[in-house]
Chain A
Amino acid sequence: MSGKPKLHYFNGRGRMESIRWLLAAAGVEFEECFLKTKDDLTKLQKDGSLLFQQVPMVEIDGMKMVQTRAILSYIAAKYNLYGKDLKERALIDMYVEAVIDLNELIMTHILQPADKREQHLATIVDKATNRYFPVYEKVLKDHGQDFLVGNQFSRADVQLLETLLMAEECKPDILDEFPLLQSFKARISNIPTIKKFLQPGSQRKPPLEEKDVPKAMKIFH
């Protein structure tokens, strides 16, 4: 037993990617066990490893944790990425929950039927540029600090960077109107642990390609 956290998921981003980001940002090495077939999932379900029969599942500190948000909160608190008090935590939670909403939208893009895709992309761009990005741009402008909350690196910074990059994958110029988000992106990408995660050969997963969608779906349905 290595003592390292062990992640159980399929070999792709999905709901596990935010967890990979956070562990990597915290400088925590982890192992991965990839589900390749429905049988792999069924086996985990049958041996009682999945509290609600679902992945992501992360083995960490003697627990078999499930539910993405629960896992992220545990990692953030354990590695001091959750602010210094209840109020900073509240602010981080607000920022993070909105980022998760935007992430969900982006994540489901590849699953849209071909005739709905253009409309869906328009929705992503609309929400990103009108609802979400302006908030973070303003936060950075108002306090002029390097990090979103409390002048200290937190999970909010990690999760926002992840989403900014995913949004750019959808539309490369999506940050054009947001100079502070552009500099935030450059700054956070240069943090040593994150820089390492962004390099080839890391455990960061590539976006799901259309041809791989049926295979991924087969594991879960």
Chain B
Amino acid sequence: MSGKPRLTYLNGRGRMEPVRWLLAAAGVEFEEIFLETREQYEKLIKDGVLMFQQVPLVEIDGMKMVQTRAILSYIAGKYNLYGKDLKERALIDMYVEGITDLMQMILMFPFSPPEAKEKNIDSIKERATNRYFPVFEKALKQHGQDFLVGNKFSWADVQLIEAILAVEEKIPAVLSGFPQLQAFKKRMSNMPTIKKFLQPGSPRKPPPDECYVETVLKVFKK
């Protein structure tokens, strides 16, 4: 037993990617087990390791943690990425939850029918540029600090850089009206742990392709 956290999920981004980002940003090495077949998944259920029969699963500190937000909150709390007090924590939670709503649109995108795809990209663009990005652009402008909350690197910064890059993959010029976010993106990308995660060969997963979608449907279909 290595003591490193162990992640069980498909070999793709999905709901596990924010966990990979956060562990990597915290400088924590981790192992991964990839589900490729329905049999593997059914075995996990049969063995009773999935509390609600779902992945992500992260084995960490003697716990078999499930539920993405529970996992992320634990990691953030453990590695001091959750602000210095209850109020900073509240602000980080608000930011993270908003970003998660945006990321949900990206998460579901590969599974939408071909005829809906263009409309969905437009929705993502609309939400990103009208609802979410302006909030963070304003926050950074108002306090003029490097990080979103409390002048200190936190979970909120990691979640935002992940979201910016994910949206840019679909809408390359999406940051064109957001100079603060452009600078933020550059700054975060240059932080040593994040820089390492952004390099080839890291545990970061590529954008979902047809093969990934097929695997999801195969492993999880009822």
Contacts and interface: CB of A to CB of B under 8 A. Distances in A.
Contact of A93 (B69, B78, B94, B101): B69
A165 interface: no
* Chain B: interface size category: 20 to 34
B46 interface: no
Nearest to B90: A74
B90 A65 contact: yes
B4 interface: no
Given A52-B135, A90-B74, A77 B89 contact: yes
A87 interface: yes
Interface string B35-67: 000000000000000011100000001010111
A63 B93 CA distance: 13
A51 B94 contact: yes
B97 interface: yes
B70 interface: yes
A73 interface: yes
Given A67-B98, A89-B73, A90-B70, A135 B51 contact: yes
Contact of B63 (A51, A53, A90): A90
Nearest to A73: B93
A111 interface: no
B69 A97 contact: yes
B67 A86 contact: no
B52 A86 contact: no
Nearest to A66: B94
B149 to A, nearest CB: 12
Contact of B52 (A61, A66, A98): A98
Interface of A: 51-53, 61, 63, 65-70, 73-74, 77-78, 86-87, 89-91, 93-94, 96-98, 101, 131-132, 135
